[in-house]
Amino acid sequence: MARLISLVIGAGFVFVLALALFFTAKDAIQNPAAETAEHEFHEHPRDAHLSSAGLVGKFDRAQLQRGLKVFQEVCAACHSLKYVSFRDFEHLGYSEGQVKALAQAWPIEQPTVNEETGEAATRKNVPSDRVPSPYPNEVAARAANNNALPPDLSLMTKARHDGGNYVYSLLTGYRAQPAALLAKFPDAKTPPGLHYNPYFPNLNLAMPAPLTSDGQVTFDDGTKSTVDQMAKDVAAFLTWTAEPNLESRHAAGVAAIIFLVIFVFLTWGAYQNVWRNVKH
């Protein structure tokens, strides 16, 4: 009896789910969602061809150093890297002394308290410090950016789909709204204070284009600093901040694949050896 009741309850549950699926599909067919500007004009990120991409990708240390300089001179005015310490930059090829000098020359100093007066103060950065935010708190950050909060960029390329390519595309994607968009969606005009960018999910974002002209940053290695080059370099740098162990992870993955291939051949050989005298 208990088994019969269980079957009836289970059948009823399946029937209700089937009805829900049917009516949901029917409603979606009869009343399709209205087309939106975001759906039609949003573009997928372009390929930045970063050296870290792919199954065996590796970081280009020279590119990471250039990306750090772009972040330092352009992005650090609004964004922080709260999960990155200055001493982590030694992994980019800098010596201990260079990291110390870099920390002290950073445009944003560390917040502290004056021991004599108890008032807020700042001090030079040291290698053990995290890369500081340019704002003391979220309220100050919003007040300085038309109520938009500049996000921390430490993990940005992990937080966005196709992160490195997304950052590169976003930084080079600012443009005027296409006439076709305004003709089809006249209410989708970019509001005052926002900026059109087809790589941003809702097409409009508060951040103005940070990379505005070639030569905005001077690279130490002599690389020509075009807008496209600066965008690629800072995208590569933010890929590193989000996953500094990417190279070792790739190496471990390749080693695991090689081991599995060898193990398969050894297993096949053992099988052939054990069963070689057995007639089928």
| Residue 153 and residue 238 in contact, taking contact as beta carbons nearer than 8 Å | yes
Print pLDDT tens along the chain (280 aa).
777 787 878 778 888 888 888 767 766 676 665 678 888 899 999 999 999 998 889 999 999 999 999 999 999 999 999 999 999 999 999 999 999 999 999 988 888 878 778 788 888 999 999 999 999 899 999 999 989 999 999 999 999 999 999 999 999 999 999 999 999 998 889 999 899 999 999 999 999 999 999 999 999 999 999 999 999 999 999 999 999 999 999 889 889 999 999 999 999 988 888 877 766 5
What pLDDT does 111 receive? 85
User: Taking Cα atoms as reference points, which of 83, 69, 88, 91 lies closest to residue 132?
Assistant: 83
**Which DSSP state fits 108?**
S
β-partners of residue 195 are 205
E strands in 98-251: 110-113, 120-123, 130-131, 195-196, 204-205
Q: How many other C-beta atoms can be found within 10 angstroms of the C-beta atom of residue 98?
A: 13
Q: Decide: 197 and 203 in contact? Cβ < 8 Å.
A: yes
pLDDT of residue 7: 80
pLDDT at 31: 66
Give the domain ranges of the chain: 35-80+152-262, 83-132
Q: Which amino acid is at 201?
A: P
Whether the CB-CB separation of 91 and 144 falls below 8 Å is answered with no
CATH architecture entry for 35-80+152-262: Orthogonal Bundle (1.10)
Is 241:71 a contact under the CB 8 Å cutoff? no
Helix ranges, the chain (H)? 2-30, 37-41, 61-73, 96-105, 138-143, 156-159, 163-171, 179-184, 227-242, 246-274
Number of alpha carbons in the 13 Å side-chain half-sphere of residue 11: 6
Neighbours of 124 (CB within 10 A): 12
- Tell me which H or E stretch contains 81: strand 81-85
Beta carbons of 111 and 122 less than 8 angstroms apart? yes
